[in-house]
Chain A
Amino acid sequence: MTETYDVRADTTLEGLDARLVVDRGAFRLDVALTVAPGEVVALLGPNGAGKTTALRALAGLTPLTDGHLRLDGAELDRTPPESRPVGVVFQDYLLFPHLTALDNVAFGPRCQGAAKAQARARAAEWLDRLGLTDHAGAKPRKLSGGQAQRVALARALATRPRLLLLDEPLAALDARTRLEVRAQLRRHLAEFEAVAVLVTHDPLDAMVLADRLVVVEHGRVVQQGSPADIARHPRTDYIAQLVGLNLYRGEADGHTVRLDGGPAITTTEDLSGPVYVAFPPGAVTLHRDRPTGSSARNLWRCEVAGLETHGDQIRADLAGELPLAADLTTVAAAELDLHPGAEVWATVKATQTHAYPV
């Protein structure tokens, strides 16, 4: 097992360095990924973006069409999955139903050549670390969702992987368990000393668990950076929607950004050339009649395309010369008599917008 990769042969090569190319008929995944040891990276993207394919390629379950895969300086792209120092936590965990939690965790060490007693001792250690000692003898169907998730994590970690992969680690949990498990998982990932890559379509999971986000759409990386950076500077509609921002692209000339095929937005930043402009839905004020004497520099005429409740707020989906989302209170919505098809004027103060170069 260990002879196929040379741990720390060259310290400058530590971590993951991969370019994953997988052709699947009309779909092509082409994702470059570099992750340092101790770093947690989340592949974030909509369903069908190729995140899971990328994960399977890293694990060796889907062969690469092209590209490379190096882990701690060792080439892995031709290595079969069983010989890769990779641990996987699957979306629905895939705990072996005929084995107890303990034997599930001991499975990896056994396959790596440990004697039965030794493998079980190591498994018991991992279960203890994850607070599962009381459930060591339980079959997977007796475990709760959160417990099964931790057993799956223990099973993956017990092989001492240099690359830990997690596929939608929280997707199978209900909302309450999710909150609790997310916090635990964050702690365990922070303790993990090697490379961790997780796949999720949930921006909150990604932002809580990962140090860095890699956003994948249509098989390509469209943006990467720290969660805070991505939340502030989204570069695609998908990310803007995820983080709840209105996002536009246009040409800046001083404080004015002329949008591609749309109106202009006045901003506070002084820029020139291609830029993004973003503002939160809460920054939008709606009026039934054209406002007079408003200090807002940006004024657009829109039509209500849809309304939905967001907690105690109402999110109005507006169409017109500038498609945008606006948040308002239920009281305000009632006073404005908002309904689909209603005509409204939307204003946004320049100070509420944020422009940044492409």
Chain B
Amino acid sequence: MTSTSDRTGAAADTLRGGPRRRRVRSGVPLPLLFPALIGLAFLVVPLIALLVRTPWHSLPEQLTSPDVWQALQLSLICATAATAVSLILGVPLAWLLARVEFPGRGLLRALVTLPLVLPPVVGGVALLMALGRNGIVGQWLDSWFGITLPFTTTGVVIAEAFVAMPFLVISVEGTLRAADPRYEEAATTLGASRFTAFRRVTLPLIAPGIAAGAVLAWARALGEFGATITFAGNFPGRTQTMPLAVYLALQSDPEAAIALSLVLLAVSIAVLAGLRDRWMSAG
């Protein structure tokens, strides 16, 4: 193995800069190339299949049906609201994790990241235990304010924010750590309070990181299924978002499911295009 790669490396060296430089590419070893191509096909073929099987002739009709519109509208509103909640709560949380030294910070960061790897259904169950009508917080909301969160549109927003906020926090915290904290010090020596320094100096400096985090969170919220169906249920017009509608339609009306899926695919591509400059240019 070593000798093979050595020889490949030497061959590449002799060819580097020469007119036959393209030969280097054919030097990719088969044990790497083969699984790589299968992996590529594995990721791309399902998407092609979706396009191939799309009922293009009936698509306009499918997409203009009131049910689809309702689900799409609800999805966009809830995902946007969940992103707003994530921004309002998540950016300060990211700042706390990145800039303030306190005992247990590592543990707190681990807790914040947990929803990233937690199965969303478990998240939904956990939300029910916390905010459900008999939940440890929810029972007080119910008896004091008459507020019920599960199985409402607000519940959808909460479920989506629970799952999406960690993406934003991680992204913003990373940007904050990379940003030079001495800019905040410079602002302080100019008479800015710590909050003013954050608002007028730090925030603009980390804006690209916040934008990327917000887009990630929004995309995650838009596709959220498990936590939503567990915590908010599946009521058309109230809590039935696009992914839920897709799942339901697949059992009764596959063509509608495909049409809905196509819309979500288009949104995903748009998101990727929006983040293009940030990630696609890596390397």
19 pairs across A/B with beta carbons < 8 Å? A61-B185, A80-B188, A81-B189, A86-B189, A88-B186, A88-B189, A90-B182, A94-B182, A94-B183, A94-B185, A96-B183, A96-B201, A107-B200, A108-B191, A111-B190, A111-B192, A111-B196, A155-B190, A156-B190
Which residues of B are at the interface with A, using a C-beta cutoff of 8 A?
Answer: 180, 182-183, 185-194, 196, 200-201, 204-205
The digit string for A93-108, where 1 denotes a CB below 8 A from any CB of B, is 0101110000000011
Nearest-CB residue, chain A, relative to B205: A98
Answer yes or no: A1 CB below 8 A from chain B CBs: yes
Interface footprint category on A: 20 to 34
* A107 (CB) vs chain B CBs: closest residue: B190
Does the CB pair B186–A111 fall under 8 Å? Answer: no
* CB pair A87 B201 closer than 8 Å: no
Residue A347 at the chain B interface, CB threshold 8 Å: no
* CA A109 to CA B191, docked complex, whole Å: 8
Determine whether A112 belongs to the interface, using a CB cutoff of 8 Å to chain B: yes
Q: Do residues A61 and B205 form an inter-chain contact, with CB atoms below 8 A?
A: no
| Residues of chain B with a CB closer than 8 A to A94's CB | 180, 182-183, 185-186
Known: A61-B185, A90-B182, A111-B196. A98 touches B204 (CB 8 A): yes
Given contacts A90-B182, A94-B183, A98-B205, contact A61 B189 (CB under 8 A): yes
B189 near A59 (CB under 8 angstroms)? yes
Write the chain B residue with the least CB distance to A152.
Answer: B186
Distance in angstroms between the alpha carbons of A107 and B191 in the assembled complex: 9
Complex CA–CA separation, A159 to B187 (angstroms): 12
Nearest CB in chain B to that of A95: its residue: B186
Cβ contacts under 8 Å, B183 to chain A = 94, 96
What CA separation (Å) do A1 and B190 show in the bound complex? 11
Q: How far is the CA of A311 from the CA of B232 in the complex (A)?
A: 80
B182 close to A159 (CB less than 8 A) = no
B205: chain A residues at CB < 8 Å are 96-98
Which residues of chain A in 70-99 are interfacial with respect to chain B, using CB atoms and an 8 Å cutoff?
80-84, 86-88, 90, 94, 96-98
Query: Smallest distance from the beta carbon of A74 to chain B beta carbons, Å?
Result: 16
- Measured CA separation A352–B196 after assembly (Å): 61
Q: Check B191 against A159 for contact (C-beta < 8 Å).
A: yes
Q: Find out whether the CB atom of A81 lies under 8 angstroms from the CB atom of B188.
A: yes
CB nearest neighbor in B for A103: B200
Q: Which residues of A contact B193 (CB under 8 A)?
A: 82, 111
Of B180, B186, B187, B191, chain A has the most CB atoms within 10 Å of the CB of B191
CB contacts (< 8 Å) of A107 on chain B: these are: 187, 190, 192, 200
* Chain A neighbourhood of B191, CB < 8 A: 1, 82-83, 108, 111-112, 159
Q: Which residues of A contact B189 (CB under 8 A)?
A: 59-61, 81-82, 84, 86-88, 156
Contact A90 B204 (CB under 8 A): no
Q: CA separation between A1 and B191, bound complex, in Å?
A: 8
User: For B187, B188, B193, B194, which residue has the most chain A Cβ atoms within 10 angstroms?
Assistant: B188
Q: How far is the CA of A108 from the CA of B192 in the complex (A)?
A: 8
Chain A residues closer than 8 Å to B192, beta-carbon distance: 82, 107, 111
Q: Which B residues are in CB contact (< 8 Å) with A81?
A: 185, 188-189
| B201 CB contacts on chain A under 8 angstroms | 96
Chain B residues with CB below 8 A from A60, complex form: 188-189
CA distance in complex: A180, B233 (Å): 72
CA distance A74 to B89 in the complex (A): 40
Q: How far is the CA of A60 from the CA of B190 in the complex (A)?
A: 12
Give the chain A neighbours of B186 by CB distance below 8 A.
88, 90, 94, 96
Chain B, Cβ-Cβ closest to A98: B204
Which chain A positions have C-beta within 8 A of B196? Answer: 111
B208–chain A nearest beta-carbon distance, Å: 11
> In whole angstroms, how far apart are the Cα atoms of A192 and B260 in the complex?
70
User: Do residues B190 and A108 form an inter-chain contact, with CB atoms below 8 A?
Assistant: yes
Distance A81 CA – B197 CA, assembled complex (angstroms): 12
A residues within 8 A CB of B188? 60-61, 80-82
Q: How far is the CA of A159 from the CA of B182 in the complex (A)?
A: 19
- What's the minimum C-beta distance from B260 to chain A, rounded to whole angstroms? 41
For A97, A111, A112, A159, the residue with the greatest tally of chain B CB atoms inside 10 Å of its CB is: A111
Q: Which 5 A-B pairs have the closest CB atoms?
A: A111-B191, A108-B190, A94-B186, A98-B204, A88-B189
CA distance A107 to B192 in the complex (A): 9
CB-based nearest B residue for A165? B189
Complex interface: chain B residues within 8 A of A97 (CB) = 205
Residue ID in chain A nearest B189 by CB atoms: A88
A98 / chain B contacts, CB cutoff of 8 Å:
204-205
Asked whether A159 lies within 8 Å of B190 as measured between CB atoms, the reply is yes
Measured in the bound complex, the distance between the Cα atoms of B196 and A86 in whole Å is 18
Complex Cα–Cα for A156 and B189 (A): 8
Measured between alpha carbons, how far is A87 from B186 in the docked complex, in Å? Answer: 9
Contacts of A87 on B, CB cut-off 8 Å?
A: 189-190
Residues of chain A within 8 A of B180, CB atoms compared: 94
> Distance (Å) between the CB of A276 and the closest chain B CB?
40
A80-B188, A88-B186 known, 4 other contacts, Cβ within 8 Å: A60-B188, A81-B185, A90-B186, A94-B183
Q: Tell me, in angstroms, the Cα distance from A155 to B196 when the chains sit together.
A: 17
Q: How far is the CA of A111 from the CA of B187 in the complex (A)?
A: 9
8 Å CB interface, A112-171 against B: 112, 155-156, 159
> Which single residue of chain B is at the shortest CB-CB distance from A61?
B185
Complex: A61 Cα to B190 Cα, angstroms: 12
* Cα(A80)–Cα(B192), bound, Å: 11
**When chains A and B are docked, how far (Å) is the Cα of A94 from the Cα of B205?**
12
Contacts of A155 in B (CB 8 A): 190
Which residues of B are found within 8 Å of A82, using beta-carbon distances? 188-194
Residues of A within 8 A of B182 (CB): 90, 94
